[in-house]
Amino acid sequence: MPDNTNVRATTPAGEHIKLENWPLADDAGATVRVAVAQTQLQHCATGAAGLEDGAALELRLEANHRGVKGVSFAVHDAATGDQCGYVQNADMDRVRAPSTSVVAGTAIRGDGGWLIEAPAPAPRHVVVPADWTYEGKVVEVKSKNDSLWAEQRMWIRACTEPDYDIGYKNPYLFEDDGEGGRIGTVDISTTKVAEKGGRKKGVAGGHTGMEPMEVDAVAGADAAAAAED
């Protein structure tokens, strides 16, 4: 991972919008089926025995030292309020977590027991106008006496040299330059910390800056070794 990765969008009016301010939307509507576990527990047996296929269920968040990070998802019959069981700890990240309210679900009779069909976690995706312009810049920073690893040099060359092949095909790394050639779409560079003012870094009154750093070609042996790793 590079030390600095900057991504922003620009509106037609010239306003720069940082990544964290891009509009997001939830992908709602997806559901998942997970097992209703621990139906045999004393406080769950009555509710589980009264379940019917297609019955409305509620998923509630409750404190439980046996759960994940001290909480569990309890399954209740929506009509009676009786608890029917729990979502297994291994399935907790597969369903949408209840927050201030309950999450509605449906009872499904499965071959191995009861299932609850509940909303899946809603992934978020960026929704921005088509006329925005997107820009990205990647910078790898090295200290004065440090240098790029063989793998880092390979990835930088893969983003800047159309004919350099490391076995990773990505059609979005280059585009036509309008003159019959190819140009990289990733603004990637390296820089070294430079001492200025005759003072060492960390000494009171001193300051550091950045200066460009050249990227050497990867020797054949280095490239082969990196590929094997």
* pLDDT tens digits, one per residue of 193-205: 765 554 444 333 3
Q: pLDDT band at 56, cuts 50/70/90?
A: very high
Please state the pTM of the whole predicted model: 0.45
CA atoms of 22 and 4, how far apart (whole Å):
19
Instruction: Return the SS3 of 157.
Output: helix
R_g (Cα) of the chain, nearest Å? 28
Instruction: Return the SS3 of 150.
Output: helix
Give mean pLDDT, residues 135-141: 78
CA atoms within 13 A of residue 41's CA, in its CB half-sphere: 13
DSSP E strand boundaries for 143-217:
174-176, 182-184, 187-196, 207-212
Q: What DSSP character marks residue 198?
A: T
Q: Which of residues 195 and 55 earns the better pLDDT score? A: 55
Identity of the highest mean pLDDT range in 64-73, 80-89, 183-192 = 80-89
CA atoms of 45 and 37, how far apart (whole Å):
11
What is the per-residue pLDDT for 101? 62
Asked if residue 221 has pLDDT above 90, the reply is no
Give residues with Cβ within 8 angstroms of 220, minimum separation 6: none
What is the per-residue pLDDT for 198? 44
Q: How much of the chain exceeds pLDDT 70, in percent?
A: 77
Asked if residue 127 has pLDDT above 80, the reply is no
The domain limits of the chain are: 4-9+134-228, 26-119
